């Protein structure tokens, strides 16, 4: 059943499913949790599970709720045995909770336990200094470790006691929507019409939130990371020719141009000037409703592929990005964006 997004219906739907996600995370020994694990994520947990090829609306809804509330999950570090350094959200006082810098070769499966002193309540400074930038190492050192070394547990950052409630989840979703619609009015006031229409495009909620980050220049591109830590910008992982910035990755990159050609959204010749926001606004005015959805899906699929190239050494494949965007579009037309 397709849930319309007017009057907060979609937020309520996602919120209730988010409560189910919380139960799957915290009540792992329950019958329902063990049944879901056996069917959908036998080798992991619900927070690391993939959507897969399952057509169940319940499972798709659970995955949508998990991704929509994803920035709110955090691992509280006890013994560090259950927390993966590069994949799990365990850093406090950060937007995503994850380590965003590339890992060192051969350390892909590093656990937080490997960073802890064997005895005592401190961190191994030699590991922190060799693996992380100084500011990241200091943030990790600020995490206090108990001498009792209990198991790592998940908690919800939106409330003091760490327990997800329907109210706190709804407020988080509603806040994201409000931020998306306002779009930072002081800077985007003249383009407010774009934000008012963006939320109504029939795509996955995760795609809308991603597109909001893209237009807000909040993606962790090499240029954005370098600006934060005053480091050097690295080359684009898709073309390996130019430095990676948002405008390059989605507009100027030869790889992305092949993707836009494959989707039918051929990028017009430009002089390479203008900001990312100018480009998005110009493309938005040119397209109709269907093209809006495909444009957002294409950007999302490009970013997903870029991450797989960096973190999983996936082979660069324009056809794969096009196929991914088209497949998700077909699911959306069938009401699968909920």
300/89 Cα distance (integer angstroms): 21
Q: What is the pLDDT at residue 7?
A: 40
- From residue 222, give the alpha-carbon distance in Å to each of 85, 111, 212, 243, 244: 20, 25, 18, 8, 6
- For the whole model, what pTM was predicted? 0.52
Per-residue pLDDT of 270-325, as tens digits, reads 545 567 877 887 777 777 777 888 899 999 999 999 999 988 888 888 888 988 88
What pLDDT, on the 0 to 100 scale, is given for residue 269?
Answer: 52
pLDDT score of 288: 74
Q: How many CB atoms sit inside 10 A of residue 242's CB? A: 15
What ranges do the domains of the chain cover? Answer: 6-69, 74-163, 183-333
Q: What is the pLDDT of residue 77?
A: 93
Give the pLDDT score at 303: 94
Supply 60's token pair. Answer: 């798709």
Please name which of 97, 81, 84 lies closest in space to residue 151, comparing C-alpha atoms.
81
pLDDT tens, position by position, 76-112:
999 999 999 988 889 887 767 888 666 667 788 899 9
Which residues, given as ranges, of the chain have pLDDT below 70? Answer: 1-10, 54-55, 95, 100-104, 120-121, 175-196, 230-232, 266-274, 332-338
């Amino acid at each position: 059943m397709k849930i319309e997004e007017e009057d907060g219906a979609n937020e309520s739907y996602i919120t209730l499913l988010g409560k189910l996600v919380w139960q799957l995370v915290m009540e792992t020994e329950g019958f329902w949790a063990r049944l879901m694990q056996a069917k959908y994520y036998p080798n992991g947990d619900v927070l690391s599970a993939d959507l897969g090829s399952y057509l169940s609306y319940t499972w798709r809804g659970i995955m949508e709720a998990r991704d929509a509330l994803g920035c709110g999950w955090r691992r509280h570090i006890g013994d560090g045995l259950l927390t993966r350094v590069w994949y799990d959200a365990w850093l406090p006082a950060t937007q995503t909770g994850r380590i965003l810098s590339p890992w060192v070769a051969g350390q892909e499966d590093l656990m937080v336990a490997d960073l802890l002193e064997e005895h005592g309540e401190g961190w191994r400074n030699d590991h922190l200094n060799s693996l992380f930038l100084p500011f990241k190492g200091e943030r990790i050192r600020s995490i206090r470790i108990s001498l009792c070394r209990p198991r790592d547990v998940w908690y919800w950052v939106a409330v003091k006691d760490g327990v997800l409630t329907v109210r706190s989840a709804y407020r988080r979703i509603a806040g994201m929507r409000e931020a998306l619609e306002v779009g930072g009015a002081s800077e985007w006031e003249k383009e407010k019409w774009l934000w008012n229409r963006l939320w109504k495009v029939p795509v996955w909620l995760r795609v809308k939130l991603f597109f909001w980050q893209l237009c807000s220049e909040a993606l962790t591109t090499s240029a954005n990371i370098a600006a934060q830590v005053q480091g050097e910008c690295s080359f684009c992982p898709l073309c390996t020719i130019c430095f990676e910035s948002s405008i390059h990755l989605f507009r100027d990159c030869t790889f992305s141009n092949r993707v836009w050609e494959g989707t039918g959204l051929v990028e017009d010749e430009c002089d390479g000037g203008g900001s990312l926001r100018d480009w998005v606004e110009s493309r938005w005015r040119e397209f109709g409703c269907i093209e809006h959805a495909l444009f957002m899906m294409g950007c999302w699929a490009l970013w997903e592929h870029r991450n797989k190239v960096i973190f999983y050494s996936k082979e660069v494949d324009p056809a794969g990005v096009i196929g991914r965007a088209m497949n998700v579009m077909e699911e959306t037309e069938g009401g699968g964006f909920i």
